[in-house]
A = this chain, B = another copy of it.
Amino acid sequence: MWVYERKLQYPVKLKNTNPKLASVIISQLGGPDGELGAATRYLNQRFSMTDGRVIGILTDVGSEELGHAEMISAIIHQLTRNLTPDEIKAAGMDKYFVDHTLGTYPASASGVPFTAAYIGVKGDPVADLNEDLAAEQKARVTYDNILRLSDDPDVNDVIKFLRQREITHYQRFGEALRHVSDGLDKKNFYAFNPSYRCNK
Tell me which residues from 95 to 149 in chain A have a Cβ below 8 Å from any Cβ of chain B.
Answer: 95-124, 126-128, 130-131, 133-134, 137-138, 140-142, 144-146, 148-149
Query: In the complex, what distance in Å separates the CA atom of A77 from the CA atom of B165?
Result: 29
| A195 within 8 Å of B (CB atoms) | yes
The listed residue (B63, B98, B104, B111) touching A112 by CB distance below 8 A is: B111
Q: Which residues of B contact A73 (CB under 8 A)?
A: 43-44, 47
- A4 in contact with B63 (CB, 8 Å): yes
A interface residues, how many (CB within 8 angstroms) = 102
Whether the pair A103, B137 counts as a contact (CB closer than 8 A) is no
Write out the residue numbers on chain B whose beta carbons fall within 8 Å of the beta carbon of A43: 69-70, 73
Q: Enumerate chain A interface residues (CB-CB to B < 8 A).
A: 1-5, 7-9, 20, 23-25, 27, 29-33, 36, 40, 43-45, 47-48, 59-60, 63, 66-67, 69-70, 73-74, 76-77, 82-86, 88-89, 92, 94-124, 126-128, 130-131, 133-134, 137-138, 140-142, 144-146, 148-149, 163, 167, 190, 193, 195-200
On whether the beta carbons of A98 and B134 are closer than 8 Å, the reply is no
Choose one: B4, B44, B111; the contact of A59 (CB below 8 Å): B4
**Nearest CB in chain B: distance from A47 CB, A:** 4
| Residue of chain B at shortest CB distance from A131 | B134
- Which residues does chain B contribute within 8 Å of A199, judged by CB atoms? 85, 148
Most buried by B among A1, A2, A98, A122: A98
Cβ-neighbour of A121 out of B47, B104, B193 (below 8 A): B104
